[in-house]
Amino acid sequence: MLKREVAKRVFAKEFEACRELEKSERPAYETADSKTPNFLISPLGLILNRVFIAGVLTELDSIGIQNDMWKARIADPTGAFTVYAGQFQPDASIFFSTVQVPAFIALTGKARVYEPEPGSVFISIRAEEVNVVGEDIRNRWVLDTAEQTIDRLEAFSDALVSRYRGETLREYLLDRGASEELAEGISIAIEREGAPQEFAKQLRISIREWIRTLNLESEDTAKARADQKEFVLELLREMEGGKGIDYAIFVDTAVSRGVPEETVEEVVLSLLAGGQCYEPKIGIIKLVA
């Protein structure tokens, strides 16, 4: 199969806890041969090879004998990913040689396992594609990843409650709407590690804390908009002085004081609709005394 591997959405905490998945552990994987890529499996049963992440580039080092390898750290709400790019990833290497730290970046890459001695495992990403993005894309990635992680957490605790194992568990999960791959991953993960209760709890806490800040931010922006409306009304009172004011002049003044034109229009329209102001002449607005 030459089909492209899906880029999984996963938080750093779950990614770093991944371990190598032996091909022999996948009975359902009939097509496994030497061309099949190496897969990792997370404690929650996510099977992955390629990942797509969006986060903050916080550290960047040039390493290797001839400084021909870049090592980067990309932070997300739960921790940080370690990313490498070397001579065989020329596009990513060029990118890292020009980017400023810190920056919001989006990155696609493949998971790598390094186990210098038994018991110490390092999981990293080898970069494929990388780009600078806006904060909005990072925030959205967090929400996407949170949704897919919670889907997994829910399926996993569902699996534990069911007390099924192996083939029965797989069929139970499929029946409950899990994908083929997740059903397989969860049954392997349970076989391997049992119930990573503490891990799941910590993951939930980090996701929740971060998402709350996003919630506050959106409340903040709502509040900021309300303040702006208040300001527009004040400004209108001041400029109109009971005699009316040319609409175009008013808009220009408001915009020059940092209020977006849409907000000005919105406020004036709502005042007109609410009968709090009117147009004595076309293009002139006047507040009702």
Partner 1 sequence: MDEKIAPHLEELTRALGDLEKTGIRAEFDKLLAFRVSPEVAKETILRRYGGKRKIIKVKDLSVSLKNFEITGRILDIGEKELRPQEGVKEGPSKLYTGVLADETGPVMFSSWKELPGSVGDVINIKNAYTRLWQNRIRLSIGEQSLVSKIYDSSLPQLSELSKTPAKKLIDIGAADYSISTTACVVQLSHREVPVRGKQSKVISGVLADETARLPFTAWIKLPGIDIGSIIRIERAQVHMFRGMPSINLVSSTKVSSVSSEEAENLAFTFESAAKDPAPLKIEEIASRDSMFDVITSGNVISVRPGSGIISRCSECSRVIQKANCRVHGKVEGVRDMRIKAVLDDGTESMSVMFPRELAETIYGKTLEEAEQLMFSDISKDAVYEDLRRFLTGRYLAVRGNSSYGEYGVSFVAESAWVPEDDIAVRVVELLRRLGPDEEDQGSEFSGGGINLA
Q: How far is the CB of 139 from partner 1 (least distance, A)?
A: 7
Residues 78-97 that bind partner 1 (CB under 8 A): 91
Number of residues that bind partner 1 (CB under 8 A): 44
Residues 6+ apart with CB under 8 A from 37: 5, 49, 110
Contacting partner 1 within 141-170 (CB under 8 A)? 141, 143-148, 150, 154
Residue 143 gets which letter from DSSP? Answer: H
236: left (phi over 0), alpha (psi -120 to 50) or beta: alpha
Provide the mask over 29-48, with x wherever binding to partner 1 is found by CB under 8 A and - wherever it is not: --------------------
Q: Which is nearer to partner 1, 115 or 147 (CB)?
A: 147
247's CB contacts (< 8 A; 6+ apart) are: 268, 283, 284, 285
Of residues 52 and 172, the one with the C-beta less far from partner 1: 52
Residues 227-286 that bind partner 1 (CB under 8 A): none
Shortest distance, CB of residue 243 to partner 1, whole angstroms?
41
Q: Does 223 bind partner 1 (CB under 8 A)?
A: no
Nearer to partner 1, 144 or 227 (CB): 144
SS3 (DSSP) at 152: helix
For residues 216 and 211, give the distance between their C-alpha atoms in angstroms, rounded to a whole number: 9
* Cβ pair 221, 260 in contact under 8 A: no
Distance CA 61, CA 67 (A): 9
State the CB neighbour count (10 A cutoff) for residue 249: 12
Number of other CB atoms surrounding residue 189 within 10 Å: 25
Indicate whether 140 belongs to the interface with partner 1 (CB under 8 A): yes
**Shortest Cβ 67–partner 1 spacing (Å):** 24
By the criterion CB under 8 A, which residues form the site for partner 1?
A: 2-9, 52, 54, 91, 105-108, 128-131, 133, 136-137, 139-141, 143-148, 150, 154, 179, 201, 204-205, 207-208, 211-212, 214-215, 218
